[in-house]
Amino acid sequence: MSSGTVLVTGASSGIGESTARLLKEQGFTVYAAAPRVDRMKALEAHGIHVLPLDLTDNALIEACVETILDREGRIDVLVNNAGYPAYGAVEDVPIADARHEFEVDVFGPARLTQLVLPVMRAARSGTIINITSVGGKFHTPFAAWYHAAKHAFEGWSDALRVEMAPFGVDVVIIEPGGIRTPFGDTLVENLRKASGSGPYAAAANKTADGTAKLFAGKRLSDPSVVAKTVVKAATAARPRTRYATGYQAKPALFLRKFLPDRAFDRLIESMTS
């Protein structure tokens, strides 16, 4: 059994919900946070504390950390999991929507991390676990803003890892592949809204159809696969710097690393057209 206090963001659904449950089963005191608190009733019944947290709202971010520190006096593990796909052709996605993607997937978790770091630094221990994506290493069409945010979060996390090493605080990146969660519905909805009509419609709708089929099928991994990886990272004496996990994560990263750009582009085109 493990002890310590953990905060998991985006815990009302998918990977975050599964992670909160597994961490609780491992013995952690778990705080689950998300905008839709009503969706976390089952977690509450499981002995998990729930808090409202919209990562675009600085006051809620500060209140979330303050509440946990008032009650527990410590935060040992922060799991920056919340995120969503702002899909659509670059030309079609309004810049306000692109900024929102960065607020939720980069600046919100960055602000939350800033508030947690002094506590971990003083304790000379702690683990920040950032859920990025294999999409933080490669690219697909109609996902430029999502890839941009996840690439940014990867680079930010790498730099933070080096900054925090002298203070005994670990920073871990987890790069999920395809995971069966409501993320697929959000992706398809956002893609159709942005590019379902207009110059990119044919290819965008084909991508939306293919994605909907993939997420409805059985090939994608269960969110518990990522939850187990989070527990591994949170309980390791010396966690790895990054873990790739879930459907096609490792082959996708391997191909991106070793194929030249145009060969990788052709591979992606053949898979999406």
Ligand X SMILES: NC(=O)c1ccc[n+]([C@@H]2O[C@H](COP(=O)([O-])OP(=O)(O)OC[C@H]3O[C@@H](n4cnc5c(N)ncnc54)[C@H](OP(=O)(O)O)[C@@H]3O)[C@@H](O)[C@H]2O)c1
Active site annotation includes 31: no
Closest separation between CB of residue 125 and ligand X, Å? 25
**Lookup result for tokens 């905008």:** 35
> Rounded CA gap, 170 and 120, in Å?
10
Which residue's CB is nearer to ligand X, number 14 or number 126? 14
Burial zone of 34 (CB within 10 Å; 0-12 exposed, 13-18 middle, 19+ buried): buried
Rounded distance between C-alpha atoms, residue 28 and residue 255, angstroms = 37
**Cβ distance to ligand X smaller for residue 41 or 266:** 41
In whole angstroms, how close is the CB of 271 to ligand X at the nearest point? 15
Place of tokens 């006096």: 73
End-to-end Cα, the chain, rounded Å: 48
CB 100 → ligand X: shortest distance, Å? 8
E strand map for 10-103: 29-34, 49-52, 77-80
Of 128, 116, 123, give the one whose Cα is nearest residue 167: 123
The one-character DSSP state at 246 is: S
Q: Note the residues at the interface with ligand X (CB under 6 A).
A: 9-16, 34-36, 39, 53-56, 81-84, 104, 131, 133, 176, 178-179, 181-183, 186
Q: Which is nearer to ligand X, 81 or 113 (CB)?
A: 81
Catalytic residue chosen out of the listed positions 31, 87, 146, 247: 146
Name the residue nearer to ligand X (CB basis): 63 or 201. 63
Helices 183-195 and 201-216 cross at an angle (nearest 10°) of 170
User: Least CB distance from residue 147 to ligand X, whole Å?
Assistant: 11
Q: What positions carry a catalytic annotation?
A: 146
